[in-house]
Structure 1
Amino acid sequence: MPDPIATVETVTGVRRIEDISVARKQDDRTRLSGLDEVPVGATGRPKRDFDEPAVLPSHGPARIISLCNQKGGVGKTTTTINLGAALAGYGRRVLAIDFDPQGALSAGLGVPTHDVTTIYDLLLSGSVSPHDAIQKTSVHNLDIIPANIDLSAAEVHLVNEVAREQILARVLRKISGDYDVILIDCQPSLGILTVNALTASHGVLIPLECEFFALRGVALLIETIDKVRDRLNPAIELDGILATMFDSRTLHSREVLERVVDAFGDSVLETVIGRTVKFPDASVAGVPITEFAPEHAAAKAYKQAARELIQRGAVA
């Protein structure tokens, strides 16, 4: 019998609700083992448990991960904050890099950005020590290098620099031995700053809003990552795609997530981050949701994402 999802579509290319329902019922029947049904997660795959990670015997050198998506408002900063806090809670030493002139990461972690050394100073002056820019946050094991609006001028200043794509990599080499993971919160563009982040990184994590227009830009981002791999950083890997702002009540959200899984397979994390008003509330308080509302489903989801990335080997 033909697959109703693969063969029956409307003229607009959107699968019909009744066909999706039939296919899901068929899928559910295939997930029976004896008399017990295997629990299925939001991604349509069997749910998995990710064990509590072991304590690290030592720290460093860091694995550097860029959180990147050229579309704004998809959860990059929220993910950087809360994933960083979750990893720190599991004993990892984490450094978050605010690489967006809007400074949302710095604000979300409650650190000052004016009259302090920022990432902008490190990019433009080789004489400034990265250690001078590092600030502690309220979360144990989680540090940050902040940014402010000055960073918006960096692209202009970097145009004539020799090996301009590798400046951030040179900065981070000086401090990578102090941390287990460095998370770079990229700005929503594919300009020279983002290329710097990708050139400096071992891996890329793509937060992807479960919304159709967010899905359209992923192919372009993957193409950019491939170009960086070919020309600047052969070692860079796609660590995963993290579905964010998922609302299981809407067909649209479920449909987008299904398409992402169909297109990218195991690159899509099992963990899915739901939509909640708790995220902006935590941002206003200047703390991660793992501290603001530790028992909330969103906090538990980011803790699971941290465990999943550790199990995948993206983080030590």
Structure 2
Amino acid sequence: MQVVSISSLKGGVGKTSVTLGLASAALAAGISTLVVDLDPHADATTGLGVRAHEEEDIGRMLKRARRADLNANVVPSGWVRQRDSNDGPPLVLDVAMGSAYTGIYDRPDLGKRDLRRLSTLLSKVDKYDLVLIDCPPSLNGLTRMAWTASNRVLLVAEPGLFSVAGTERTLRAIDVFSNEFAPALEPAGIVANRVRSASNEHSYRLTEMQAMFGDLLLSPTVGEQANWQQIQGAAHAVHNWPGESAKYAAGLFDQLLDGLVASGQVRDRVRR
């Protein structure tokens, strides 16, 4: 099971949009996926069309991590439509729901015991090939809790001065954090998001990012989508949205997912 934190130090760069795009690609590919919405704003939960009944949100499960049953409290995404029995096994895209309650852990002073709370929850599940953790835009306790539970960190950045500088700081933070708390943790790469091809500033910053980050800057970049807010507002998967623009965006996330799952290792397990 690969566990990937999706992180950014700067808000507003489309971190949750990238999480949702990758979740849509995983669903389309038949990869069993769990999205953990660790951002107190819970935007990923909303965008995934979750309809909860009596399930606990991730914040309340974290509070009693040793006793909580993550399997019993995940909620299927509203994107999922069960396949006909002749088309193979059911698609799996589950959500550990976000809530403002997680904010009690978004502090800079969490000890090692608290940092292991999400790891403890995830240790009890084994039905997923991929776990995507949508982190808040900070380096406080929730992000560090996510990194402790993760194999890799995927960074999201806009091609702008402040976002690029924040990404550089985040890479340094991952290095320091892995040395102290999570020796197996490594960056999965950097997604350049909301790229405007006609912008000279964006072109300049992309060139700068290539020089600064080398192979960590992933290809393809994700352009600014005029209909992205409409897609998210309808709580739809981009792969199921009509139109050439959505089809093109879906293809970008398919390519990013291929790289994220380590040269198709997860896909190969699914096929077998």
Where on the TM-score scale, by shorter chain, does this alignment land: which range? 0.7 to 0.9
Q: Paired residue for 1:238, among 172, 179, 187?
A: 187
Instruction: Summarize deviations over 1:242-279 as a string: whole Å, max 9, x none.
Output: 11000110111111111111111111111110001221
The one-letter amino acid of 2:73's match is A
* Cα distance in 2 between the residues matched to 1:247 and 1:83: 20
* Cα distance in 1 between the residues matched to 2:243 and 2:262: 22
Which one has the largest radius of gyration? 1
The one-letter amino acid of 1:101's match is P
Against the structure 1 CA distance between its residues 294 and 192, is the aligned structure 2 distance closer, same or farther, given a 3 Å change threshold? farther
Q: Paired residue for 2:123, among 144, 148, 173?
A: 173
* Cα distance in 2 between the residues matched to 1:256 and 1:314: 32
Instruction: Summarize deviations over 1:85-112 as a string: whole Å, max 9, x none.
Output: 1022112111100000001000111114
Greater relative contact order (Cα 8 A, min sep 6): structure 1 or 2? 2
The one-letter amino acid of 1:217's match is G
Against the structure 1 CA distance between its residues 232 and 293, is the aligned structure 2 distance closer, same or farther, given a 3 Å change threshold? farther
* Cα distance in 1 between the residues matched to 2:186 and 2:20: 21
Instruction: Summarize deviations over 1:160-211 as a string: whole Å, max 9, x none.
Output: 7661111111111111x21111000000110011000001100011111122
* Cα distance in 1 between the residues matched to 2:60 and 2:243: 35
Instruction: Summarize deviations over 1:269-311 as a string: whole Å, max 9, x none.
Output: 1111000122111111011212223742222211221123345
Q: Paired residue for 1:203, among 152, 171, 182?
A: 152
Q: Paired residue for 2:240, among 281, 291, 313?
A: 291
The secondary structure found in structure 2 opposite 1:271 is: coil
1:156-171 paired onto structure 2 within 5 Å: 163-171=113-121
Q: Is the contact made by 1:65 and 1:205 (CA closer than 8 Å) also made in structure 2?
A: yes
* Cα distance in 1 between the residues matched to 2:111 and 2:17: 32
Q: Which residue of 2 aligns with 1:53?
A: none
Report the RMSD for the aligned CA atoms in angstroms. 2.0
* Cα distance in 1 between the residues matched to 2:97 and 2:178: 27
Q: Which runs of 5+ in 1 are unaligned?
A: 1-61
Deviation at 1:128, TM superposition (A): 2.0
The secondary structure found in structure 1 opposite 2:5 is: strand
Deviation at 1:132, TM superposition (A): 2.2
Question: Does residue 1:73 correspond to 2:12, yes or no?
Answer: yes
Instruction: Summarize deviations over 1:16-42 as a string: whole Å, max 9, x none.
Output: xxxxxxxxxxxxxxxxxxxxxxxxxxx
Deviation at 1:154, TM superposition (A): 3.0
Q: Which residue of 2 aligns with 1:132?
A: 72
The one-letter amino acid of 2:168's match is A
Q: Which residue of 1 aligns with 2:62?
A: 123
Deviation at 1:313, TM superposition (A): 6.0
Q: Is the contact made by 2:33 and 2:94 (CA closer than 8 Å) also made in structure 1?
A: yes
When normalised by structure 1's length, the TM-score is 0.75
* Cα distance in 1 between the residues matched to 2:110 and 2:183: 24
Q: Which runs of 5+ in 2 are unaligned?
A: 81-90, 268-272
Q: Is the contact made by 2:52 and 2:75 (CA closer than 8 Å) also made in structure 1?
A: no
Instruction: Summarize deviations over 1:129-151 as a string: whole Å, max 9, x none.
Output: 00122011123321111111111
1:101-112 paired onto structure 2 within 5 Å: 101-112=40-51
The secondary structure found in structure 2 opposite 1:67 is: strand
* Cα distance in 2 between the residues matched to 1:88 and 1:112: 18
Q: Which residue of 1 aligns with 2:254?
A: 303
When normalised by structure 2's length, the TM-score is 0.87
Q: Which residue of 1 aligns with 2:86?
A: none
Question: Does residue 1:63 correspond to 2:16, yes or no?
Answer: no
The one-letter amino acid of 2:188's match is D
Give the number of aligned pairs: 253
Q: Which residue of 1 aligns with 2:139?
A: 190
Deviation at 1:315, TM superposition (A): 5.0
Q: Which residue of 2 aligns with 1:217?
A: 166
